Amino acid sequence: MKRHIPFLILLLIPVLFSSCSKNEQKQTITRGNEAAYSSDKEFDIRIYNLQVKENQTKYRTPYDTLSLLAFVLHNYPHGTYLVDFDETLTFNVPKPAVIYLTRDNHLYVFAVIVRSKPGERLIEPKNVVGYKESFINLDSTKLGTAFFYLTLFKCENGTFTKIWEDPIPSHGGFNNLELKKWGCNNTPYVKVDFHDAQGIGHIDYNYFMINGLTRIPHLLMTYKGIDFKRTMANVNNDKYPDYYEFVYYNLADRIYEQDSVAFVWNEKDSLYVNTRNHLQTRPY
Burial of 211 (0-12, 13-18, 19+ CB in 10 A): exposed
Mean pLDDT, the chain, whole residue set: 85
Is residue 84 domain-shared with residue 126, that is, in the same domain? yes
Higher pLDDT, 199 or 109: 109
- What's the structural domain count of the chain? 2
Confidence of residue 66 (pLDDT cuts 50, 70, 90): very high
pLDDT at residue 278, rounded to an integer: 95
Is residue 120 domain-shared with residue 166, that is, in the same domain? yes
Is residue 248 domain-shared with residue 196, that is, in the same domain? no
Task: Give 160-185 pLDDT, tens digit per residue.
Answer: 999 999 999 999 999 999 999 999 99
User: Does pLDDT of 11 surpass 50?
Assistant: no
pLDDT at residue 160, rounded to an integer: 97
Of 193, 217, 241, at which residue does a domain stop?
217
Q: Do the domain assignments include residue 147?
A: yes
Mean pLDDT value of segment 198-204: 91
Is residue 207 domain-shared with residue 269, that is, in the same domain? no
Q: Do the domain assignments include residue 231?
A: yes
Q: Do the domain assignments include residue 3?
A: no
Is residue 92 domain-shared with residue 231, that is, in the same domain? no
Mean pLDDT value of segment 99-103: 96
Task: Give 73-100 pLDDT, tens digit per residue.
Answer: 999 999 999 999 997 655 567 899 999 9
Domain that holds residue 270: 227-284
Of 185, 217, 249, at which residue does a domain stop?
217
Task: Give 14-30 pLDDT, tens digit per residue.
Answer: 444 444 444 444 443 34
Q: Do the domain assignments include residue 31?
A: yes
